[in-house]
Structure formats: C-alpha cells, structure tokens
Structure 1
Amino acid sequence: MGAQPESGGRTRVDLPRMPAVGALHRRALLGALPGLGGGRRGPELPAVELTVGGVTVDRAQLADYDRVCGFRLTDRLPATFPHVMGFPLALRLMTAPDFPLPLVGLVHVGNRITVHRPITADQALDVTTYAENLRPHDRGRQVDVVLVGSVDGEEVWRGVSTYLGRERTPGGRERGERPEAPAATARWRVEPRVGTEYARVSGDHNPIHTSRLGARLFGFRRPIAHGMWSKARCLAAVEARLPDAYTVEVAFKLPVPLPSTVNFALLPDGGFALHDSHGRPHLTGLVR
C-alpha cells in the first residue's frame, strides 16, 4: 500500500488487492458497540481516495450475478456489476475510523451509474473510490460515495451511491400526497432467497437482508431486498432497450420485504418504477 500525490485535494492510496469484506463487516459491527469505536464521528470527509489496479472479472461470480438479477448470460458486464466489483473498496472507505457516518444504520437512498462504453468480462478494471458532498438532510446527513472504473487510463464506468446517516434532528419531514402508481408492465414474486443469494454474489452481507433477527434489530419485521438488487432487476427487464452508453439513476423509496410481490412499470419517458401491491413506491428510476 502506498500514498500518492493528491488528486482533487485528496491523497491517493494504492492498495495491492481488494479488501476482504468479512473483516470489514466485523469492524463495522464492533464499531457500533458502545466503547468499541462507536460514538460521534468527525464533521469532515476523509481527504483520501482508494485505488486497486487490475481488478479482473470472476466469470463464475458474473454468471451467478446474472442469474440472481435476471440478466442474460453474456460477456458484457451489466451496468450494476462494476458496483459489485468495487464494493469491497467502498466498504473499506466507509468503515475507516475517520469516516463521518457509521456504516451500521446507513440507508442507501439513491444510486446513479454512468456507462461510458460497454465493458466485457476479459477487461481488467482499475477501481477508485472516494466520498464527497457531505450535506445536511432533514433526517440527518447524506454523503455520496463514488466508484470509478477505468481501463488503460480511460474512465469507462462511474457509480455514485447516496447514503443517509439518520440522526436526531429538530422537526420532522412533511409528507406530500403520493402520486398514483403507473400501470404495471410486469409482476414479480420476490422470494426470501433473493436476500441470501444476492448477498453471496455481491459480498454485501448486511443482516437486514439475510436474517429475520438482523432485520428486527433495525426495525424491520422481516428481511428486505438489497436496493442494488432491485435496481439490477429493473435494468434486466429493459436490457434489450439499453444503448451502449447511458446514465441510469434511481431513488430508493420503501424497502422490498422478503417475501413479497412487486409491480414493475416501464414509463414512456425512459423511466421505470417498482411498487408494492398497494401502489406504494419501492423505487423510481430513469435512463437517459
């Protein structure tokens, strides 16, 4: 591991390989316990970007990912797969002691991915992550965690995940009227195995997705689907319509409990949405 000169005000740290996610999850859980690293964090983002070069695609993992999310089995990477490839690096960033928001309890509220050109399974990615735009929210603070994938110095993929760290703040948020849900294009049954299978192929083993007890500890009656699984499943439904270069942005609304039945709607403006059987939104998205 070595530190390089600053880029955009951040010090670049090169890591020899992707971190082990198991150890990072344990660090996050221990840090949430009183007296073991929890407590109030600093007010600023770490001025660092982490990089791992030459990250190769595990073709078996890619095939499993395609199956779990509903993509066709091809050598072209789905737009959401580089997020999985870079997830250990982002997790390393967010579990660092100087990261201002504790990982345990963070809510993934939005994700934007830009595909600059197709990426194939035989191409190795140089992956970089950093955090930016720490800002107040009426329920706490939000931060953007950026992942960038490059091939031979050319940026080919960029993902921005927005996380909410819920904190006690004065007042409450106002609830507006909910718009009517669009007509369903398809209806999907989401079984409990989606939580455990996506955890296995993505490395995101947050217990709210895989364990009834873990979900209850965070206020859910039963496990919930990963937000990035929901986004990937929606993109798989429109896979044949996607161009070679595009941006797809989603806002995560209500979680998808496991099991449940959800309604997918394809909208005429390039948007899409996922609702429950009562018309309440799980996700809204747009491809442009």
Structure 2
Amino acid sequence: MAELTSMPSIPKLYAQAAAKGASHQLKSALTGTPLGGLLKKVPLGGSSKAHGNAVLPTERVSVSGHSIERQKLVSYQRLMKDTVRDELPSVFLHAAAFPVALAAMSTADFPLPLMGMVHLKNVVEHRRVVAPEEVLNISAWTENLQAHYAGTQFDAVAEISVGDEVVWRGVSTYLSKGTFLAGKPERPEREARDTDTPQSIATWKLSGDTGRDYAEVSGDFNPIHLGTIPAKIAGMKGAIVHGMYSAGRALAATAPHGQPYEWSIEFEAPVFLPAIVAFEAHASGEAGKTEFSGWNAKNQRRHFVGWVARR
C-alpha cells in the first residue's frame, strides 16, 4: 500500500493529467499517428482471467488521520438543501475520499487517460453514522476493467475507516471513451421506458455558478464544472454540474438520518449549466427502499436514476 503523507491536491492531479494529454496530442500531431492508436499501445489492465496477463495497478493508495473541516460540512449541507446536523452525509464522505481515489487513477502505471473520463454510476455502503469529529483513514484502488461499446470502463473503489472499522465504502464506475480492449461488445438495445413523465416533487434551479459552488465545498475542481471557458478548453460544449452534486441533492431529500443505508445512482445525460432539473422520489416495492430520478424540465430527457435503502 502506498501511504501518502498528506491529502492529494485535486487541481494538481488534474493539471498533471491535462499536461499528459497535451503531450499525447502533440506526439500524435508530430508523428501522424492517430491518438487512439497511441492509446492502444498502452497495456490495458483488468483481471488476469478476463484479459490475459494484463492487469490494472494492484497497489492501494491511502491517507491516514484525515479530519473534517466543520465549516466545509455546514457549507455542503446548506448547498445541498440538507439539514445542518452533526452527521456526515454520504456524498460528503465521497468527497473526502475522492482525492485519494483520483491519486489511484493518476499513478504512472495506470493505463487510461484521466482527462475525459465519463462518470457512469456509484454504488455506496454507508455502514454507520459517522460523526464530524471522527478521524478518517482513507484507501482507494482500481479494479474490474471491462470492455464497453464506447471504450473501456473500470471501477474506482474507496473505503473510509475509523480505526480498523470500515464505515463507508463506495464504488465509482468510469468510462474511458475511445480506448478499447479486445472483444469490443455491441451496443445494447436501449431499455424501453415508460413514456409518461413522472410527477416531480421538486424543481432544482441551477445557476451557472453551481459547479464552482460545489467545487468549493467538495474540493473537486475539475475544469469541466467550473465555467463555460474552462469546460470548452477541456473539450466540453459547456460547463456541466458534478454528478455528485446531483447525488447529494437526491440523498438530501431521500436518505435516512441517524442510521446506516445503501444507495446507488446511474448517470444518463449531463446537466449543462444553467439548468432546471425536475426531481421525483417514491417508495419502491421493497421495504425501506426509495427510488428517485431527475430529468430536464424542458425537454424531459432523464439525467439520472437511483435508489436509497436502509441497511
């Protein structure tokens, strides 16, 4: 395990990834080699069973003794329209672990480009209530490399412990578009969905500053979220809200207080800022489980779908 002496700097990691990407693009221009071809020369990892001898980095990255800034917690809770209380929300814990997970995706032997990753989904176990004064130990690693019809996907796993007890575990699934493993699968048929628009229970009016506001409380200063100009420099047509902002708002409305729970969210379409997002939540057929979704209030395109359940 690679034990870091301090929490990694997210802006620094993004800057290093951008410089690495620019170097690849320059090499592609000078040699006349397609960028995709350069990426295909990088050994792609995965389980030895699925992909021969190629593997993702096996070393875990960790940070010990991390303390929460109380004012950041309060600012986060207010931004999410959550109750201000002495309990760490699950997405706030994700934000605490994210720099370590990003460091695990930034090692020299990680085979995929960090910039341009598409966030597909999260599955999280919030195993017990975590108090703001508790000292956190965080570890992260990557696993489960798989072929995807649009590129290559993998999981970034993070665990947060208090002492020797794992109190939170999150699996974030990402897609590296345009970088393919052998055996590219066919694109699956689009799942049939109800044509009736669900009845919203809330409307989120998101300004152009929402990405910067979330970055301030989470530390995730990815340029695609910070404004139109930095997003376009990074290759987007405009700034999009963090996926975890959507998750945080959804959980603020649905997650139980004072007890453990599990949750998941899948991202279907980005939320370009400014935006109006319609949100709904309803009890599922399973006891203690709530399902939710959010969609564009103007064109009805769904942005995300998920659930939260008591453990």
TM-score (normalised: structure 2): 0.83
2:203 matched residue in structure 1: 187
Given that residues 254 and 308 in structure 2 are in contact (C-alpha distance below 8 angstroms), is that contact kept between their aligned partners in structure 1? no
Task: Please give the residue correspondences for 1:14-163 in structure 2 after superposition, counting only pairs within 5 Å.
Answer: 14-35=3-24, 39-40=38-39, 41-44=42-45, 45-163=56-174
Q: Whose strand proportion is higher, 1 or 2?
A: 1
Distance in 2 of aligned mates of 1:32 and 1:220: 15
Given that residues 18 and 115 in structure 2 are in contact (C-alpha distance below 8 angstroms), is that contact kept between their aligned partners in structure 1? yes
CA RMSD of aligned residues (A): 2.0
| Structure 2 alignment gaps of length 5 or more | 28-34, 46-55, 285-289
Given that residues 223 and 234 in structure 2 are in contact (C-alpha distance below 8 angstroms), is that contact kept between their aligned partners in structure 1? no
Query: Is the counterpart of residue 236 in structure 1 residue 256 in structure 2?
Result: no
Q: Whose helix proportion is higher, 1 or 2?
A: 2
What percent identity do the matched residue pairs reach? 35
Query: Is the counterpart of residue 285 in structure 1 residue 306 in structure 2?
Result: yes
Moved more, 70-79 or 37-46: 37-46
Moved more, 20-29 or 133-142: 20-29
Distance in 1 of aligned mates of 2:191 and 2:172: 25
Distance in 2 of aligned mates of 1:97 and 1:205: 22
Tell me which structure has the larger Cα radius of gyration: 2
Given that residues 21 and 91 in structure 1 are in contact (C-alpha distance below 8 angstroms), is that contact kept between their aligned partners in structure 2? yes
TM-score (normalised: structure 1): 0.90
Distance in 2 of aligned mates of 1:272 and 1:119: 24
| Structure 1 alignment gaps of length 5 or more | 1-11
Other structure's SS at 2:119 match: strand
Query: Is the counterpart of residue 253 in structure 1 residue 273 in structure 2?
Result: no
1:3 matched residue in structure 2: none
Cα distance, 1:99 vs. partner? 1.1
